[in-house]
Amino acid sequence: MKIFVLFPAFLASLLSLQQTVRPSNAMQLRQQESVEYIRRSVDFIRQIKQLRQVESRESTELKFILSDVAVSLNSNNCLQQVLADKLFYSEAELTFIEGHAASRYQWQKTDFPSVKFVKEDTIKAVFRKAFASDRWGYFHEHIGRDFNEFSMPVFIRNNTFCLFYSANYCGDLCAEGSLRLYKKEGAHWKLVKSYCDWIS
């Protein structure tokens, strides 16, 4: 009789244990996926043009300066051109891209060792309206000659295509940026399409 009384209690405790373990396993899986995504993103960025420029500047006094926080893929409303490209992307891909466009990440020194990072808050402080008259003069004197922004890459089609936004700012009428689609061919990423190329 005691066995029948204890069995439901044992079963209930076993079920509650499973319920507490499952979220932990799911969290570990998400963390592993997140680490893998960051590694893939950094590898991608290192391979494309911007990082080759970084390496070529390494031996000079000119440092490649990067905002320490990834910007949105939709900077300057560039994502709208991608979302309108319904011949190339499926509806599911467009939904995925839109859902991941604003991914935020704080770049680490270990991601790009040769890069000089400037805090996003510092950039905002320098370029707020109070400094409008000589903001670039202050920036050039205290930080550097320009700065760059990168989005987090968004990978689709089993990581064989990637969307990536980058921009460079060097003065009031000295800036450029674009949202580009790359395709992986062998070990290399090749530019396929360019959206929203802008310059000022």
Q: Which two tokens stand for residue 33?
A: 């996926």
Mind listing the pLDDT tens digit of every residue in the chain (200 residues)? 444 444 444 334 434 434 433 444 444 445 556 888 999 999 999 888 555 444 444 434 458 899 999 999 999 899 999 999 999 999 999 999 999 999 889 999 889 888 899 999 999 988 886 566 788 988 999 899 999 999 999 999 999 999 999 999 999 889 999 999 999 999 899 999 999 999 98
DSSP 8-state symbol, 89: S
pLDDT confidence of residue 158:
95
The beta-carbon contacts of 107-113 under 8 Å, at least 24 apart in sequence, are 107/66, 107/68, 107/69, 107/70, 107/150, 111/38, 111/42, 112/42, 112/45, 112/46, 112/51, 112/54, 112/66
Residues contacting 40, CB < 8 A, separation 6+: 153, 155, 159
Q: How many domains does the chain have?
A: 1
Three-state secondary-structure class, residue 185: strand
Residues contacting 39, CB < 8 A, separation 6+: none
* Cα dihedral sign, 120-125-131-137: negative
Q: Closest Cα to residue 126, out of 172, 178, 174, 168?
A: 172
Which range marks the domain in which residue 144 is found? 2-199
Angle (CA) 91 95 98, round 5°:
135
